[in-house]
Structure 1
Amino acid sequence: MWLLTTDRAELRWYARPPPKYAVLSHVWDPEEQSFGEVRGIERARRETGENPRDFVSDKIRNCCIWAEAHGFAVVWVDTCCIDKTSSAELSEALNSMFAWYAAAAVCYAFLRDVSDSEPPSIPDSSFRKSVWFTRGWTLQELIAPKVVIFLSETWFPIASKRHMSLLLEEITGINAEVLMGTTPLHEVSVARRMSWVSARTTSRIEDEAYCLMGIFGVHLPTIYGEGKEAFLRLQEEIMRRIPDTTLFAWGPRADPVETLLGYRSVFPTSRGTDYIERSCLLASGPAAFRNCSDLVNVSKKVFAAAYDISPHVSSFIVTSHGIQATCPVMHFSGGCTLLLLPCCKAQDDELSFVALILRFQGESSPWAVGTRTLVEEVSLEKREPR
């Protein structure tokens, strides 16, 4: 990977992370200097004997000065340290970016819209409202590094992740324990991790998926131009690697009683604009997980006891014909059929399990998913599950 020398802002190639380096996290400006432009400045100044750092953008120069002052010889800046003219290098960089942030000694988070004249914690502070908290790529840049220093619009240090973890949890919804590294990401449900990015945006639609690769520990070929297919590929890869059915519990939830008594009223019809989307097992984008921060997995034993069934391992496999699911299915006398998932809404004393309403499409056709429902207080007579 390419890094910048902090004393001269010159690009140097490293096959593996050096022992000590800093990284920059920021929101891109309309005019950011690219790899080629920084390389051009370096070549031009070599002929004049001048320091290239004096001719790069203010952001790159200030970042280099900050890093050098803290004893770092090199720093990584995503705008100019990736040669985007090479699709192979771009794909490698995006797939390894989380690991590079995690291995950095410090991450400087430059907040161009935050003042250093007010405490970050006060209501309606510019820190709370910073656009940095609304971007998809900055999610991993907040979580991965052990040390994150937040810098104001004047490059003045205003907070650190360690000392502001509770405030950051309030702003982002990410547990302070996750931010501090005491709770590893793999212990957090897939749906909850998805909820962290559900309200964030990316400039390219494909980046909705690519910015989450490190959060889930998966790797994907990056194909700009594939659109929403990228997020579907991400979910399929998560299915292969992580046995977590909260992945399928996205979207709006129906009332359990209305689900069973008014089945047709909660099911999307072909006239509705969301008919196709809600008839799919996988979500079309991270926004579908906006209300999923309270979903957790349950053990096979707890799941079996809740429905009085024998222990059963649910599985979902991607095939050439779609997704093959092996799960308990429950038929109710009112005509409603539920696919039971071993996950639930996190509560103090009660377990509110999640089920998917299924739509029968004919004897020779597969069942289609309708909508999601909580089934915590259902007491209607039911047939034996199959």
Structure 2
Amino acid sequence: MQLLNVHTLQLTTFCDRNVSDYAILSHTWEDEEILFEDICDAKKRSRKRKNGWLKVQRSFVQAMVVGYSWVWIDTCCINKSSSVELSEAINSMFQWYKDSSVCYAYVSDVTYEGGPSVQIVHSRWFTIGWTLQELIAPSMVVFYDNAWRRIGQRQERILAQKIVGATGLPDDMVTRLNNPWSFDLRTYLDRCSVSQRFSWASHRSTKRLEDEAYFLLGIFGVTMQLRYGEGSQAFFRLQQEILKDSDDQSILAFRHSTHHKHDLLAESPRDYHMSHDIRPIYQVDFPFSHGSTTTALSPFAKMLEIPLYLCPPAQAGFSERISWCFVL
């Protein structure tokens, strides 16, 4: 990854093994952002006249106050003219946010008036697909308003309650059980059902249709080749990648958001808007289960092979044997 030195404004490449402590910025893209080309051209004085320059500058100030020399900002730390670098960045971005020392969430459409009544969750920041991983992944997220006044940390009780209510995220994941640095995020996410994780994204949007899949890669711990131009096929490929490693049948617990669709797999995260309470089968105590609870799913190009439990119609006893069936 490439990090910006807050003192020299120079980009430095770090390998995974020697990355330094760094701050990271989460924000919504607006007009006149500072881009990679602006940073690389040291003689381009016009960058300081762009509206986005203040956002970069204030990120540097916040980092320097607590002693960090490095900052990562998506607008200017990725060479988007290189398809290889862009693919690496999108596949690694969740981990980069997770490894950061602190994430500054800049909500440019909020004016902080003090007190617990601040309506931060009405910000556009909470409707963008990419900011979902930026809310979940870092150990420490600090919110700032349009004048860079500190609103609060994600895990602070009053703010956390607003975030949980607006996003549907689990309370203990938002608060990190008051110990963000020892919280095992990967284990926690893997214990959430596939459909539940999709539901967190069901009310968020992206400019590019393919990004509906790409911004979820880190949340599911998978990587994919980027193919901009493939449209909704990207989300189909994401589900196939998930099925390669997961036996969670809740991936089928969706409702098509468009009436004319009858596909076996979902078309977009919007199809999971009613799936936030669905748990994985291993977290449910089935009184009728006997022996193995293996539920392996086998993905194919146009079908799924699925072993399913057949629930007996009787309300008592549950003595009937479990049968296997296949959904094509």
Fold match (TM-score > 0.5)? yes
The answer to whether the 8 Å contact 1:300/1:312 transfers is no
Distance in 2, Cα, partners of 1:330 & 1:14: 54
Q: Tell me: CA distance 1:300–1:22, structure 2 relative to 1, closer, same or farther (3 Å).
A: closer
Which residue among 81, 87, 91 is the counterpart of 1:85?
81
The answer to whether the 8 Å contact 2:310/2:322 transfers is no
The answer to whether the 8 Å contact 1:33/1:80 transfers is yes
Distance in 2, Cα, partners of 1:65 & 1:300: 46
- 1:295 and 2:278 equivalent? yes
- Once the two structures are TM-superposed, the CA of residue 195 in structure 1 deviates from its matched residue by 0.8
- 1:274 and 2:275 equivalent? no
Task: In structure 1, give the amino acid aligned to 2:280.
Answer: N
Q: Tell me: CA distance 1:321–1:153, structure 2 relative to 1, closer, same or farther (3 Å).
A: closer
Aligned to 2:193: 189
Q: Tell me: CA distance 1:10–1:328, structure 2 relative to 1, closer, same or farther (3 Å).
A: same
- 1:319 and 2:314 equivalent? no
Aligned to 1:20: 21
- Once the two structures are TM-superposed, the CA of residue 109 in structure 1 deviates from its matched residue by 0.3
Task: In structure 1, give the amino acid aligned to 2:165.
Answer: E
The answer to whether the 8 Å contact 1:300/1:313 transfers is no
Distance in 2, Cα, partners of 1:21 & 1:383: 56
- Once the two structures are TM-superposed, the CA of residue 70 in structure 1 deviates from its matched residue by 1.9
- Once the two structures are TM-superposed, the CA of residue 290 in structure 1 deviates from its matched residue by 0.5
Aligned to 2:2: 2
Aligned to 1:177: 172
Which residue among 148, 153, 156 is the counterpart of 1:155?
148
SS at match of 1:220: coil
Aligned to 2:68: 72
* Alignment RMSD (CA, Å): 2.9
TM-score (norm 1): 0.72
Q: Tell me: CA distance 1:377–1:157, structure 2 relative to 1, closer, same or farther (3 Å).
A: farther
Aligned to 2:127: 134
Aligned to 1:107: 103
Distance in 1, Cα, partners of 2:37 & 2:3: 14
Distance in 2, Cα, partners of 1:116 & 1:314: 49
Task: In structure 2, give the amino acid aligned to 1:281.
Answer: L
- Once the two structures are TM-superposed, the CA of residue 53 in structure 1 deviates from its matched residue by 7.1
SS at match of 1:326: coil
Distance in 2, Cα, partners of 1:63 & 1:204: 27
The answer to whether the 8 Å contact 1:331/1:385 transfers is no
Distance in 2, Cα, partners of 1:69 & 1:172: 31
Distance in 2, Cα, partners of 1:113 & 1:69: 24
- Once the two structures are TM-superposed, the CA of residue 58 in structure 1 deviates from its matched residue by 1.4
- Once the two structures are TM-superposed, the CA of residue 230 in structure 1 deviates from its matched residue by 0.6
Distance in 2, Cα, partners of 1:327 & 1:190: 17
Task: In structure 2, give the amino acid aligned to 1:32.
Answer: E
SS at match of 2:206: coil
SS at match of 2:131: helix
TM-score (norm 2): 0.85
The answer to whether the 8 Å contact 2:210/2:228 transfers is yes
Distance in 2, Cα, partners of 1:310 & 1:300: 16
- Once the two structures are TM-superposed, the CA of residue 72 in structure 1 deviates from its matched residue by 1.0
Distance in 1, Cα, partners of 2:8 & 2:49: 8
- Once the two structures are TM-superposed, the CA of residue 159 in structure 1 deviates from its matched residue by 0.8
Q: Tell me: CA distance 1:37–1:19, structure 2 relative to 1, closer, same or farther (3 Å).
A: closer
Q: Tell me: CA distance 1:126–1:385, structure 2 relative to 1, closer, same or farther (3 Å).
A: same
- Once the two structures are TM-superposed, the CA of residue 44 in structure 1 deviates from its matched residue by 4.5
Q: Where do 4+ consecutive residues of structure 1 move more than 6 Å?
A: 52-56
Structure 1 gaps, min length 5? 46-51, 253-272, 333-375
Q: Tell me: CA distance 1:118–1:317, structure 2 relative to 1, closer, same or farther (3 Å).
A: same
- Once the two structures are TM-superposed, the CA of residue 249 in structure 1 deviates from its matched residue by 0.6
- Once the two structures are TM-superposed, the CA of residue 292 in structure 1 deviates from its matched residue by 0.5
Counting matched residue pairs gives 308
Q: Tell me: CA distance 1:113–1:12, structure 2 relative to 1, closer, same or farther (3 Å).
A: same
